[in-house]
Structures are given as C-alpha cells and as structure tokens.
Amino acid sequence: MDRPASPTSATARDVILEIVRNMKEGLEPLHYSVLPPAVYHVYLHPDDMERLRAIVPRIVEEARRALDAEVEALNGPSIVERLKLAKRAAPKVAAPEGGWQIRILENTDDEVAAGDILIYSELALPAKAELGAGSMTRRIATRKLGATQMTTSPPLEAQAAPSAEPPAADDGAFAVIEFADNSGRKTFRMTKDEIVVGRGGRDYWTDIKLDTLPDVSREHFRLRRDAASGNFFLKDLSRLGTTIDGQAAPSSIDFSDGSKRDRNVEAPVPPQARIGLAGVVFLDFRSTQHG
C-alpha cells in the first residue's frame, strides 16, 4: 500500500531541487570551462523511499532535465556580458559527456529521520586507458535537516593499489587487511580474535572505521578468528550485503517484522580473500598464519 506524504516527508520535488542545488554548490571552475558533479548518489529515509519507489525512474528523468535547464541558465549571458563590459566571456559550465548519473537509494542509517535527503556527488572524469577506470576528483555531501550541511572529502583513486608501507615489526598480528576509502590507503593489522568493520558512529564501535558511502552499514560485518584452528569466519550484519571473493556471504541478520535479529550465521574466509562491502569498498585480507 502506498504511504501518504506527511509534513516531514521528502517529496519528489524536494529530491530534484536538492540534486540541482548540490550540482550548483559542487561546480569546479577550470580556466576555460566549469565542471559540474556528474554522479549523484541520493539516499532517502526508508518511508520516503517506499512511498516514492514506483516513480523513481520519473524522478531521475526529471532531475536530469532540471540539471540540463540549470546548466543552460548558468551559461546564459550575465548583465556584464550583455553590456559588453567583460574582456572575455566567463567560462561555461560543461555538461558531463556521459550524461548525468543518478541513483536513488534507501538510507539504512538507524538515526536518519523522515524528510532527510543525503546526496553524495562526484566530479567523475572520463575513463582513460592509462588511468584504469577513471578517477573521482571530489565528493560533496549535502543533507536536508531543516538546515543544510556540506562537507568535502579528499580524492579517492578509482583503482587503489595495496599500501606501499613496509611490513610492521612482528606484533603478533593474525592477519593484514589493506584497503582504500575516502581518506586514502590504509593497512590494518589484526591482533585480536574478533574485529568489527563498518562506518561506525555514535553507539557503533568499529575496529576498522570506513569513510565511505552510506551503502556501507555502520556495523557492516564482524571478522572472527578461531583460536584453536587459526581459521577465519565472517558474519554479515549489513543491509546491502558483503562478498568474499565475489560470492555473497549469507546474511546473519533477520530484518523481518520491523525488528533486527542476529541469527549468528558465519561464512568461512580463505587465507587470502577480497572482501566487498555493498560493492562500494573492498578489503584485501591476508592471514599471516598460512604459508
């Protein structure tokens, strides 16, 4: 059954206007042109997402039209240019060559409120052979909570190589985990029998705290070492899933009936594995106890 909008709900128009405003706030001036964010990840409260789910394709279509119209308006002649007082025309906003990429998703954070709109946008350059999959130059987060906040994050390389740091002195680590998030490349040495991985936050302890998209849960998975055998096991606690070498790990959480219940389901982790969190962040795991 469709849910009616409440006074605190985010409407489809709110979503479109927030995307357009995010684009204007994220413009990156060059010398001869201005680049707008090309990729938008929009996160809505579960109630808002459920109510708008059926018209998401229409929202995306009209958001693209609104972005095109805003670019056209931004590129219109200014008063100074109309009076021919400028020595040269101001750089124009260049619409992305690959078009506007917009994804509308459910926000899985427990503390999110109805009406909140969280947008992550990326200045994504076209892929080039020598750059692998292309690169993201900046990310801007905008949140609608009565007021607006904006934060910027440093660049995240599209194809992050393992850390070049030399191995640390023997500290009794059972495993080494290498990864890259918005804050750069990192190496984590696992020195206890169980760790928690996720975005963390208030009331959410994590051993590996990831600076990344809300697709990754605050407590995404637990990694446990069996002291007797030295084998490792992963418990998926997320909403959007965890993979081990590309294969989906079974979820340990039952989200039925509006409640959250841990079924205590684990999946074995090989001595070397690539662990994916919601397809957003990937951790390279290596046990130090196997030859």
Residue 259 has a pLDDT of: 74
Q: Which ranges constitute the DSSP H helices of 26-55? A: 46-52
Residue 1 has a pLDDT of: 41
pTM: 0.66
Pairing mode, strands 281-287 and 221-225: unpaired
Nearest to 199 by CA among 166, 238, 235: 238
Per-residue tokens: 272: 């070397």
Q: What kind and span of H or E run contains 13?
A: helix 12-25
Per-residue tokens: 270: 């090989």
**What CATH topology corresponds to 175-287?**
Tumour Suppressor Smad4 (2.60.200)
Domain boundaries, the chain: 12-153, 175-287
Q: Which residues of the chain have pLDDT under 50?
A: 1, 126-138, 147-148, 150-167, 169
Residue 57 has a pLDDT of: 96
**Beta strands of 154-280 (E only): which ranges?**
175-181, 184-190, 194-198, 208-209, 221-225, 232-236, 242-244, 247-248, 253-254, 261-262, 267-269, 272-277
Q: What kind and span of H or E run contains 68?
A: helix 56-74
Residue 256 has a pLDDT of: 77
Residue 181 has a pLDDT of: 92
Residue 77 has a pLDDT of: 76
Per-residue tokens: 1: 């059954």
CATH number at 12-153 = 3.30.2320
Q: Which residues contact 237 (CB under 8 A, 6 or more apart)?
A: 198, 217, 219, 220, 221, 222, 252, 253, 262
Q: Hey, which residues does 41 pair with through a beta bridge?
A: 103, 120
Torsional class of 64: left (φ above 0), alpha (ψ -120 to 50), beta (otherwise): alpha
